[in-house]
Amino acid sequence: MCGITGWVDFTRDLTDEYPLVHAMTETLTARGPDAGGVWLDGHVALGHRRLAVIDVEHGTQPMRTPERGPGDLPRSVISYGGEIYNFRELRAELALLGHRFTTRSDTEVALRAYLEWGAGFVHRLNGMYALAIWDTARDELLLVRDRLGVKPLYYHPTADGVLFGSEPKAILAHPLARAGAGAEELCDALLFLRTPGRVPFRGMRELKPGHLLRVRRDGLSEERYWALESRPHTDDLPTTVATVRDLLDDIVPRQMVADVPLVSLLSGGLDSSTVTALAQRARAADGGRLTTFSVDFTGHTENFRADPIRPTPDGPYALEVARHVGSDHHAIVLDRARLLDPAVRRTVLGAWDLPFNFADLDVSLFLLFAAVREHATVALSGEGADEIFGGYLWFSDPDARRADTFPWLKLGAHRGLDPRSLFHPWFVDGIDLGEYEADLYRTALAEVPRLDGESAQDRRTRELGYLTLTRWLPILLDKKDRMGMASGLEGRVPFCDHRLVEYVFNVPWEMKTFSGQEKALLREAATGLLPESVRRRKKAAYPSIQDPAYDRALITGLTTAAGDAGAPLSHCLDGAAVRRLTGRTATGSLSEFERILVESTVRLDEWLRTYQVELDTGALGAAWPRTA
């Protein structure tokens, strides 16, 4: 998986800047605990931290070509993180073209593919990746991010070049980068969506999924190399089901390539169970047995309370799938004390670098990954299926479908997840949160690829699918990446293979739900893989702790932030709203959405504090300063 970072300055000699670049690189040690390296020459510096997955003994980075360029320097140098799943096919093709290899790594394949095909090599890659290639002959840095954005990559333009890194912390380790925020950055932090390219640190950018960035003396230029396209779907239902199954039969074994232990995360839901069943088939074909992991909470199954997004507990279904496919299953059981451990929560914030938050889901995922890391280095999981097959409630809920905003924000607001509800109206109006949200929605809708002749229902479903893939899925992929990499665990997501996404994106809604149940198309494609009880199980969200004492502890954190005059958000929080939530926990539990609201607000306050974010009070206008 690894972590990458670097610095280009066309007006300076960076040869003596090793201590600074090394410090930037070391911020990513959790992402790459196995090895680290720095390469400097002239006005470029590349750093790398390695998590060894393929060709463990070799494949160290930054990797240089033996071919020489101007000044007898390496023709090209690469710092790369991720996995290229078709590297063996590319290696064979390049060998026929005369390339010679000294390692078995996918890193060397990527580097030599660039030498052969230039920036166009990205069209040949199947995988998840964030990479930087310095081309000595062109005097150019090329940054590339995978199509769906599974791997993160950030950059910070400077007057004479660029800083970049797998995580913001690597960039912030450089004195040219400051942790600052204005009204737009606070809006980004408060809204539960990700806008491609935007980051809540002023001056910093995210390289958008499916994009590359060229850094030259004459400036920076970002180019899109992949985008979702709308095409007529001409396959009938049996052909569509068979195509989905054929794709999954290829994707899952392809993503199992590794020279280190690999496991599968298994919730007992349709998505992870399908991945697990296919992975076990591939493992059994090699004479092996797959290990699987799930997460649960003390007393959760016994005291389970059903709700609209979690109608059934995961535990019994995960065990049923494990028995059915024959995996070696382990349930990681967590309790309230571990979820509230201050050291763990600081680690989670430090892993994110950003104020995004999924309440106890973040912490439990980190603890699950930490436990899995004791057994393996790579884990398969089911993210992406709900996004492409239409598994979320907002694909079918009439109010969400009619919403003039992002549908999950509409549903969340109805259930207590509205960031406006905890802040004074003058603050919300001062940062212009409503208009900012509306503008982001208009921009996102304008991007949706259209198809002539579509029905109104299919047109709206296409919009919802596009919004979910580009504004919601990135949050989940970031969460999986950050919590996994904080433990040195590489997460792989077969449903995010671009071939599957491209195909299913264009399947009409009536075919995706032909049986009347959500994700009917995937359920049919999984025929013969799973127990019928699991194949037909209604979607259940990732498990969340159900413990009133946990909620009371959260409220304590919120009241502390509201009552501490030195807290960054103290004068912005509405004391009456905080007291109403406090009263709720005195007589019962918070709802799932209220819990996320409380934790996200506390996380924002902690983020402002921990990262010493300099608030641009001029840009905040009427929202700052103000007393309650």
List, for residues 472-487, the tens digit of each pLDDT value. 999 999 999 999 999 9
Judge whether 2 counts as a catalytic residue.
Answer: yes
Which of 2, 187, 496, 572 does the annotation list as catalytic?
Answer: 2
The 8-class DSSP code of residue 94 comes to: H
CATH architecture of 237-401+452-535: 3-Layer(aba) Sandwich (3.40)
Residue 628 has pLDDT above 60, yes or no: no
CATH number for the domain whose boundaries are 3-224: 3.60.20.10
Give strand ranges (E) for 56-113.
63-64, 76-84
Residues facing 67 on adjacent strands: none
Contact (Cβ atoms closer than 8 angstroms) between residue 586 and residue 575: no
Rounded distance between C-alpha atoms, residue 188 and residue 373, angstroms: 32
Tokens 């609201």 — which residue?
597
Only one residue has tokens 């991010």, namely 145
- Give the pLDDT confidence of 586-622 residue by residue, as tens digits: 777 788 888 889 989 999 999 999 999 999 866 566 6
Question: For residues 40 and 15, is the Cβ–Cβ distance under 8 A?
Answer: yes
Query: Annotation-wise, does 109 bind a ligand?
Result: no
CA distances from 353 to 113, 308, 327, 350, 476 (A): 33, 32, 35, 5, 15
* Averaged pLDDT of the chain: 93
Q: Model-level pTM? A: 0.95
- Position 596 scores a pLDDT of 87
**Residue 587 one-letter amino acid:** T
- Tell me how far apart the alpha carbons of residues 240 and 234 are, in angstroms, rounded to a whole number: 9
| pLDDT tens per residue, range 207-220 | 999 999 999 999 99
Q: Which runs of consecutive H residues, i.e. helices, occur in 374-455?
A: 385-389, 398-402, 407-414, 425-430, 433-447
| Cα 526 from Cα 529, distance rounded (Å) | 5
The residue with greater pLDDT, 320 or 2, is 320
Alpha-carbon gap, residue 38 to 445, rounded angstroms:
42
Name the pLDDT band for 67 (thresholds 50, 70, 90): confident
Per-residue burial over 287-319, b if 16 or more Cβ lie within 10 Å, else e, is eeebbbbbbbbeebbeebeeeebbebbbbebbe
Sequence-distant (≥ 6) Cβ neighbours of residue 503 within 8 angstroms: 243, 244, 247
- In the structure, what pLDDT confidence band is assigned to residue 222 with cuts at 50, 70 and 90? very high
In degrees and rounded to multiples of 5, residue 181 shows phi and psi of -155, 145
Domain boundaries, the chain: 3-224, 237-401+452-535
d(CA 355, CA 341): 19
- The pLDDT of residue 627 is 42
Mean pLDDT, residues 99-125: 97
Instruction: Estimate the crossing angle of helix 183-190 against helix 592-610, to 10 degrees.
Output: 140
Phi/psi at 70 (nearest 5 deg)? -55, 140
Whether the CB-CB separation of 540 and 592 falls below 8 Å is answered with no
CB atoms within 10 A of CB 599: 22
Give the span between the Cα atoms of 414 and 408, in whole angstroms: 10
pLDDT tens digits, 68-108: 877 777 899 999 999 999 999 999 999 999 999 999 999 99
Q: How many helices (H) and strands (E) does the chain have?
A: 26, 19
CA dihedral in degrees (546, 547, 548, 551; nearest 10)? -80
| Burial state string for 160-186 with b = 16 or more CB within 10 A and e = fewer than 16 | ebbbbbbbbbbbbbbeebebbbbbbbb
Beta carbons within 10 angstroms of residue 369's beta carbon: 24
Percentage of the residues of the chain whose pLDDT score is greater than 70: 97
- Indicate whether 491 pLDDT > 90: yes
pLDDT given for residue 22 in this prediction: 98
295 is in an annotated binding site: yes
Determine the average pLDDT of the residues in 152-176.
98
How big is the chain, counted in residues?
Answer: 628
pLDDT at 37: 96
Report yes or no: 145 and 474 within 8 Å, Cβ to Cβ.
no
Rounded Cα–Cα distance for residues 457 and 388 (Å):
16
Query: Which tokens belong to 117?
Result: 């095909």
Mean pLDDT over residues 360-373, rounded? 94
Is 429 one of the annotated binding-site residues?
no
The contacts found for 115-121 with CB under 8 angstroms, 24 or more apart, are: 115/65, 115/67, 115/75, 115/76, 119/144, 119/212, 119/214, 119/225
